[in-house]
Chain A
Amino acid sequence: MDIHKANWNLPLWAFLGQSLVRYDKEGNPVPDLATSWKFDDPKTLVFTIREGVKFHNLPPANGREMTAEDVAFSLNRIRTPQAEFVWRSQFERVDKIEAPDKRTVRMTLKTPFAPILAYIASGTVASNKVIVPPEVVQKWGSLADIEHAVGTGPFQIKQYTPGVGGTLVRSSTYWEAGKPYLDTLSITVVPDRATMIAAYRTGKIDLGTQEAGEVTLSERKDMERTNPEIKYTEWSRPNWFGLVPNLTRKPFDDIRVRKAIFLAIDRQEALQLNLAGGGYITGPLPQRMFPGWVAWTEAELLRLPGYRQPKDQDMAEAKKLLAEAGYPNGLTLEAEGTNLFPQINLKNMEIAKSQLAKVGVTVNIKLVDGAVWFQQDTKGEFGFRARGYSAARDPDDQLYTRHHCNAGRNSQKLCDAELDRLLDTQRQELDVAKRKDLIKQAQRRLMDLAPQVWLHTAVDYMPRQPWVRGWEPTEYDPFALPANIWVDR
């Protein structure tokens, strides 16, 4: 899979490649391969490229210096107008990316675009806007073969077999003095969860990373019983789960029905039943990921209608709304479920089914497989589904691309002029305080429209053996600077 195209996690690249900027612990973009950047004007962003950065000493780059040309090449490649380059839309406001000299990259925007830095720092989990030497793409036609990967990261590929694992070794050309500390990093792919957990227990694996190397709260409790030595880092997933109706279909086009469902769902119960409490209840933005940007803190959120306990008042109002909408005797909803993704989704729908039954709403769940699920999603041919949302660490990716009338990922077809105005304006607002305010307004507007039922964000645990040091995964960067890892034993 080509890192510049992949819509799926490619955790290996977190060790091999780097981007211009990365996220710090608080989610702010900080220098990585760029040492600084500034807006010459609201539409021109200029990066100064770090000096002395070299590619891995592997053919065809052979340890040569990385220049602005390579940066322009890599970022422009991600903008290739082909469907497989799925990240192009994050650069849709970019007009051109050029390298006027060896140390400067100039990005010209069509309109001011506030989230651009965050988009360069982000991918599905680690940034996939990695800088590669053009000769690799020329030689192999793409970056599809991880065996041929060349980047600027602290480790380089020694050997890798897809689906099995491989060995990464210290890159002799790495730019941070004295780093990385480890000589070798051995990566093993373990598809079966029970096997993976057994491997942690027996100390066969030193640490678990994304994708899927993290464990849930109940799995952690299980592991602690037999191996209390293992350490964990709490990690709030960059996604959240919810119940999403198709707004073009009856009865979801009626806001009263939507609100009734919104009120009738017991989020606390869903969190307990589904994740055994291993997570937190979310609004339109997951609170722990965007502390400064959310309209309600976790405590405030839990006092809102639909979220508050006990449910009596919400249930009564839900019944009233359904009666007003013309369903005094209840109604039947057609829903889909899939086994493909974390069981969390299907379970959420089953929980919703039992909760909605209390207000006279019957839910019929039809099981479909993964490809059908996605196809229905892109074509907008679905009824009601429980699903997860994952996005870059910028509220724009969470709100605009899902809820703006013209956005490609707005599969439920929400169209609201006021919301669109707020979402359009925040994109162009470079003043962070003003932008935060617009984002908060957008969340309030969303809450009024109740297009979906936001449920919860799972909190997982990244396990590591006690001898692993210097590895501090954060919400924003689950790979946490692999150059800093060392082993004490």
Chain B
Amino acid sequence: MRQYLVSRVLLLVPTLFIISVMVFAVVRLFPGDVLDFLTAEANVSREDVDKERERLGLMKPLHEQYLTWVGSMLRGDFGRSLWTKRPVATDIQRRLPVTVELGILSLFFSVVIGIPIGILSAVRQDSSMDYAARSVAIFGLSVPGFWLATMLILFLSVGFHWLPPLRYASPDVDPWQNIQQFIAPAFILGLHLAAVLMRMTRTALLEVLRQDYIRTAWAKGLRERVILARHAFRNSLIPVVTILGLQVALLIGGSVIMESIFNLPGLGQYIFQVILVRDYPAIQAVNLLLASFVMVANLLVDVSLAYIDPRILYR
């Protein structure tokens, strides 16, 4: 196991390298750069704009630009934003906790909603409760989060003259305001994931419940709760946990929209802004960071699978 872990962690290095090359190349493949925005609509000569490009190092050969970037990243320097001129690291540092909080809360909601309902509808298959749960799941899957979010805001403001506080407050400054701000976006993001989890839990559990050893357990006269908790649920968890890992990438995508609608200054909002203005250092840093999140999440999933099912041996 330890050997496996070490090799997996070591494998992150080449993966990160490939991602860094891809991110670097892709942002430069899009036509247009930050100077097109900085000088958009301005009465500026093309020569002066090119001089500025030169000054910012955007005219250097690509491999040279790449090495400079990787070199400074390795020294822990994320560079300065070409748009705001602020250090990218400062921006990320300030915004990361927001996205992480949103992500954790959404995952929390998806697990506490999705898994119990999934279990219930598997155990009471084809009951009215099952149908209701499945309808909710289909609703959660098919209604886009941005619509739900906008409707919620409209409903609250028109119906109750109430809105979540507009200005972001971090949990250590004002926990109550912070919760008011996060509860709606986290719930909406979580609802979508919960629908996926619920369907997955139900399917997996139904399959396990038809296995011979479950019948044996029934035959032994075990109580339903014991059968479910000790024998069935744990074995149905493998696909569920795998899905949970994959959801991390989805969560990041969803945070782009939720953070804008609910005015949360996180990385989702940030990445949208920096891609728009082609702020290369910022796009590269954020993408690399998010890619590492996804990789670490996948690693955690693989490791936890071994704990869930001892038959899985990593060598």
Which segment, of B148-156, B243-251, B292-300, faces chain A? Answer: B148-156
The complex places the Cα of A378 from the Cα of B32 at a distance, in Å, of: 11
A202-222 interface code vs B (CB 8 A; 1 in, 0 out) = 111100000000000000000
- Cβ contact of B30, chosen from A1, A83, A199, A371, cutoff 8 A: A371
Known: A83-B48, A86-B42, A202-B163. A378 touches B86 (CB 8 A): no
Judged by a CB distance under 8 angstroms, whether B38 is at the interface is yes
Is B263 within 8 A of A190, CB to CB?
Answer: yes
Which segment, of A12-20, A161-169, A415-423, faces chain B? Answer: A161-169
Is B40 within 8 A of A195, CB to CB?
Answer: no
Which residue of the partner chain B has the closest CB to A165? Answer: B167
Is B163 within 8 A of A164, CB to CB?
Answer: no
Interface set, chain A 171-186, CB cutoff 8 A to B? 186
Residues of A within 8 A of B265 (CB): 161, 163-164
The complex places the Cα of A168 from the Cα of B91 at a distance, in Å, of: 21
Interface set, chain B 53-92, CB cutoff 8 A to A? 55, 83-86, 91
Judged by a CB distance under 8 angstroms, whether B41 is at the interface is yes
Give min CB distance, B108 to chain A, whole Å: 24
Total contacting residues, chain B, CB less than 8 A: 50
Is B41 within 8 A of A390, CB to CB?
Answer: yes
A131-163 interface code vs B (CB 8 A; 1 in, 0 out) = 000000000001011000000000000000111
The complex places the Cα of A226 from the Cα of B33 at a distance, in Å, of: 43
Give min CB distance, B296 to chain A, whole Å: 26
A365-393 interface code vs B (CB 8 A; 1 in, 0 out) = 00001111011011100000000001000
Residues of B within 8 A of A205 (CB): 166
Is A2 within 8 A of B85, CB to CB?
Answer: yes
Residues of B within 8 A of A379 (CB): 46
Is B36 within 8 A of A340, CB to CB?
Answer: no
Is A83 within 8 A of B163, CB to CB?
Answer: no
Judged by a CB distance under 8 angstroms, whether A326 is at the interface is no
Judged by a CB distance under 8 angstroms, whether B23 is at the interface is no
Which segment, of A54-62, A270-278, A401-409, A427-435, faces chain B? Answer: A401-409
A57-73 interface code vs B (CB 8 A; 1 in, 0 out) = 00000000000000000
Residues of B within 8 A of A202 (CB): 157, 161-163
Judged by a CB distance under 8 angstroms, whether B128 is at the interface is no
A430-467 interface code vs B (CB 8 A; 1 in, 0 out) = 00000000000000000000000000000000000000
- Cβ contact of B31, chosen from A81, A144, A371, A390, cutoff 8 A: A371
Give min CB distance, A420 to chain B, whole Å: 16
Is B167 within 8 A of A164, CB to CB?
Answer: yes
Is A340 within 8 A of B161, CB to CB?
Answer: no
The complex places the Cα of A204 from the Cα of B51 at a distance, in Å, of: 46
Judged by a CB distance under 8 angstroms, whether A300 is at the interface is no
Residues of B within 8 A of A408 (CB): 42-45
- Cβ contact of A371, chosen from B32, B42, B52, B168, cutoff 8 A: B32
The complex places the Cα of A164 from the Cα of B166 at a distance, in Å, of: 9
Is A198 within 8 A of B156, CB to CB?
Answer: yes
Residues of B within 8 A of A372 (CB): 30-32
5 A-B pairs with CB atoms under 8 Å apart are: A83-B38, A86-B44, A198-B157, A199-B166, A201-B157
Q: Which 5 A-B pairs give the minimum distances between C-beta atoms?
A: A371-B32, A198-B157, A86-B42, A89-B43, A408-B43
Interface residues of A (CB under 8 A from B): 1-2, 5, 7, 81-84, 86-90, 142, 144-145, 161-165, 186, 188-192, 194-195, 197-199, 201-205, 226, 340, 369-372, 374-375, 377-379, 390, 401, 407-409
Interface residues of B (CB under 8 A from A): 30-33, 35-46, 48-49, 51-52, 55, 83-86, 91, 94, 150, 153-154, 156-158, 161-163, 166-168, 260-263, 265, 269-270, 273, 276-278
